[in-house]
Amino acid sequence: MAQQTKLALILIILWITAGCQYTHNKNSSSDILKRINEPEKSIVNNTTLNDTKLIKHSLEKSSESKLNCTTSNSCLQNQAKTKTDPNESDLEKESDLSAQEKIDQALDLCNYAQQMWEKGKLEEALTNLDSAYYSILEIDPDIYPEFNQQKEDIRFLISKRILEIYASRQIVVNGQHDEIPITLNTHVKKEIKRLTGPEKKFFIQSLERAQRYRPFIVSELKKAGLPEDLSWLPLIESGFKIRALSPARALGLWQFIPSTGYKFGLNRNYYIDERLDPEKATRAAIAYLRELHNLFGDWTTALAAYNCGESRVLRIIRKQSINYLDNFWDLYQNLPRETSRYVPRFLATLHIVNNLDKYNIKIDTPSKPFDFQVCEIKKQVRLKDIAKKIGMDTATLKELNPELRYALLPPEPYMLKIPKEKAQLFLSTIDELKTTGTPPPMYVFHRVRRGETLSGIANKYKTSVRAISIANNIHKTHKIFAGKVLKIPGSTNSSIASIATATQLKPGQTITYTVRRGDNLWNIARKFGTTTKNIMTTNRLSCTNLNIGQTLYITSKKQLILAKSDSSKKSSSQHNKTFAYRVKSGDSPFSIAKKYKMDLNRLLALNHLNKRSKIFPGQKLIIE
């Protein structure tokens, strides 16, 4: 009886202990659920609610599993064993409490991060989410497997919340124009030292040029709701030089490569390159920067992508050891060398322009913005003719319209920028301007030989080193090598010279001409009194490019008209003397000319053929 009484007492004690443990766990879970249930004014309310349900479900499962454990035989046996070792029981309770505290701490940090996010303190929100992540990592999954599901749900919540913060950055900060954080770390300080030391002269000159273009850039950034600090980006890109050209063929104030320029609406053809237009390029750059910011979420990473391309930055992010986006400085070591300097250099620029007195930097000769009026012109006119007509400097007119590649208006209507004080005079004399017949320079090709230099090649073709460099996207004068093929722009002076010594061909006459240095189709056509179209048709050329040493067949532009006129006269007096012949299999121009006792050159000229031309069965030829 005594033994039965003792056994009953032990069972009662164990039952009370189990009940207390269940109460503790239930209260702990309730507290956590209560915290999760607190209302959140999230920017993404639906996502937050779903994440909360995930955590609730995990915690409820944990509570149920612990309750089931206390009522099972195995758990009763384990607790009976534990009662025999009070010290071990206290250690396990303390460890369980520590693991639960880590879960509670992680949830508290997530909630605090949510509050910081709502207040627009994004960096603090991200810092707290990082701390929450490290908190759950401290719980050993082998010792506390019952917490694994809770850890996974919280990890999922943290990852999604961080992605939401990055995606919503544009929404949170839109309208504020100073949100690019200036981090003065060792990398930025190194660039500050460079820009205020060896590169100080370049920096001051860039600041002076910036005064002309920044007012427009700042106004466009304000319209777009982007940070005004971005207006200093061209200082790093091009030094505010309109015609800056990089080794990667990036051109203009904002350094667009052709493909990116096309993507954002910058046209490029034989006459214009809109990458050189400060206003058009600025609007395109703003559209590109906005797209990058929406993609990456922070400005430093967006600027890195602007420099080396979004695809490359995305590849680097995918290689990160964590499965959510981080900030630029975590990508820094994996970026290309130029890009890894690019962002610190930009941040250094922001710091310096905000502290000019500190670094003893003064802007003595600032460039003033142009005051101009846009006027439509429907004629193809040279800028120097316009400048002469309205009494202004040609260089200033070129500077106002930098997108014109050859200082020549395109044949279609064009919106020309004219100084405001000259606009009325221009509009009143526009009808007096004569349409020019001078085309833009065409190209010949030159293969570089051993020992040749750009200056020597330029002298040989009567052009300039700069013209050759621009035509071939050469950044440094010494970067040419034997075997490289260069495009050589034609010279307007040589065109005039060739016109003065023009040789008129007689109708029916066909001659051969070997292309020489400085030649282009327009020069050759004018020299022999024919047309470029006639030469291209006769020689079956698909483009205007020529090579030195190339042989061309030249005929008169009037000979086909005269041939038709002669044939009509002969047909009126001598029927059957001129007729159309249909080429048969096995025929050749020589055999046909011999058959009809006709001069071969005459046959070729009448039918716009040359000695290399092929004829085909069924083709019709004019026969005299």
Q: What are phi and psi of 274, to 5 degrees?
A: -70, -10
**Beta pairing partners, 388:** none
Q: What are phi and psi of 113, to 5 degrees?
A: -60, -40
- Write out the two tokens for 79: 């607790």
Helix (H, G, I), strand (E, B) or coil at 408: strand
Cβ neighbors of 89 (< 8 A, separation 6 or more) are: 82, 83
Amino acid (1-letter code) at residue 181: P
- Per the document, the length of the chain is 624
Q: Cβ(90)–Cβ(17) under 8 Å?
A: no
Helix (H, G, I), strand (E, B) or coil at 451: coil
Compute the C-alpha angle 366/370/373, nearest 5°: 170
- The CA distance from 37 to 52, in Å, is 8
Got the DSSP string for 431-446?
A: GGSPPP-PPPP-EEEE
Our answer to whether residue 237 is catalytic in this structure is yes
Q: Which of 218, 216, 346, 221 is nearest to 286 (CA)?
A: 221
Which uninterrupted H or E stretch holds 564? helix 559-573
- How far is it between the farthest Cα atoms of the chain? 152
**Beta pairing partners, 620:** 582
- The CA distance from 420 to 590, in Å, is 66
Q: Cβ(411)–Cβ(380) under 8 Å?
A: yes
- The CA distance from 607 to 596, in Å, is 15
588 burial (CB, 10 Å; 0-12 / 13-18 / 19+) is: exposed
Helix (H, G, I), strand (E, B) or coil at 288: helix
- The CA distance from 341 to 348, in Å, is 10
Q: Which of 105, 176, 101 is nearest to 144 (CA)?
A: 101
Among 237, 310, 403, 452, the active-site one is: 237
Q: What are phi and psi of 399, to 5 degrees?
A: -65, -30
Q: What are phi and psi of 570, to 5 degrees?
A: -65, -35
The residue behind tokens 């042989």 is 551
Helix (H, G, I), strand (E, B) or coil at 398: helix
Q: Cβ(275)–Cβ(248) under 8 Å?
A: no
Helix (H, G, I), strand (E, B) or coil at 623: strand
Q: Cβ(392)–Cβ(401) under 8 Å?
A: no
Cβ neighbors of 507 (< 8 A, separation 6 or more) are: 556, 558, 559, 562, 563, 605
Neighbouring C-beta atoms of residue 61, cutoff 10 Å: 14
Q: Is the dihedral of CA 45, 46, 47, 52 positive or negative?
A: positive
Active-site residue numbers?
237
